Amino acid sequence: MRSRAAAGSTALPIPVAIVSSKRRAGREAAAVMVASVRVDGRPYDVAEGERLVFGREENVGVVGLDPYDMGISGVAGSIECDRGRWTIVNRSQKRPLFIEIPSESGRVKLTMGRTHIVATSQTIVLIPGLVYTHRIDMVVPQASVNWNRPTAGMEESTVVARGICSEADLDALTAIFSGFLASFPRRHPHPLTYRQAASLLGVSEAAVRKRIENLRLRLSRHGLADIGGDKALYDLADFVMDHGVIGPGDLDRLRLGPLEY
């Protein structure tokens, strides 16, 4: 990761990874993917195999946001690319991040320890503080997005499907399909009703219904699945589990109590 400060500008934080001149010179020949990142307007290049870490205070290996704002974690998150797979990781132990995709409406809440797989060329990361909400703009070349493949054994649609799901979407899916995800003897391969799912999450029935219906529309709009009819929930269950959108590990969501919708 290297900054792209203009001549005479204020000094920027020490980069997380120093790119050697040999590696920099060979980027074009090796076709290494590079993301253009702006942290509160400060420009950086982040290449495959590098990591940009951001947090409260400017430090070795950390791009600082505001040293006086105690509402920002010391290490809030990171942007990185491993084997062609761009991700945004929440590295805070206390505070969420928020992801916005310009081509989509709404906001994805990225809770502590979770990872967002970048599946679009433009992504915005919001880091709320006590004083100010900081913004990171990330642009990945379309060729890089096309190359942004999941790990072996998973289909490309897994990355896209998970990427368009907010945390609340995943909560709703996990609650409704909890019977599919549970182990024997608790396994019950039938969807719960919206009311039953709502009671597990501590939210309204209407909120769960809205989440599921909006998700079905987004899946259709992205060309991933056309789900409807009397068996819509069964078809949705097959899709999200076959493509790894949710799994047994997501059952921990149901123990978190009331969640935001």
Q: Are 134 and 127 in contact (CB under 8 A)?
A: yes
Distances (CA, A) of 128 to 20, 24, 105, 165, 169: 34, 34, 19, 21, 21
CA separation for the pair 216, 49 (Å, rounded): 35
Tokens of 21: 């001149």
Predicted local distance difference test score (pLDDT) of residue 168? 85
Q: Are 119 and 56 in contact (CB under 8 A)?
A: no
User: Could you tell me the end-to-end alpha-carbon distance of the chain, in angstroms, rounded to an integer?
Assistant: 36
In this predicted model, what pLDDT tens digit does every residue of 145-175 receive, in sequence order? 654 444 333 444 444 566 667 788 888 999 9
| pTM confidence score | 0.52
Q: How many CA atoms lie within 13 A of 74 on its CB side?
A: 4
What share of the chain in percent tops pLDDT 90? 31
| Highest mean pLDDT (candidates 12-21, 163-172, 221-230, 239-248) | 163-172
Q: Which residues 6+ apart lie within 8 Å of 152 measured at CB? A: none
Distances (CA, A) of 98 to 70, 126, 159: 18, 5, 18
Angle at 220 between CA 117 and CA 231, to 5 degrees: 110
Distances (CA, A) of 74 to 3, 17, 164, 220, 231: 20, 18, 28, 40, 47
Q: Are 220 and 160 in contact (CB under 8 A)?
A: no
In this predicted model, what pLDDT tens digit does every residue of 185-207 receive, in sequence order? 677 888 999 999 999 888 999 99
* Longest distance between any two alpha carbons in the chain, whole Å: 67
Question: What average pLDDT does the structure give for the chain?
Answer: 76
Predicted local distance difference test score (pLDDT) of residue 52? 95
Predicted local distance difference test score (pLDDT) of residue 161? 62
Given pLDDT bands bounded at 50, 70 and 90, which one contains residue 114?
confident
Given pLDDT bands bounded at 50, 70 and 90, which one contains residue 103?
low
Mean pLDDT of all residues in 95-106? 77
Which of these, 19, 12, 18, lies nearest to 59 by C-alpha position?
Answer: 12
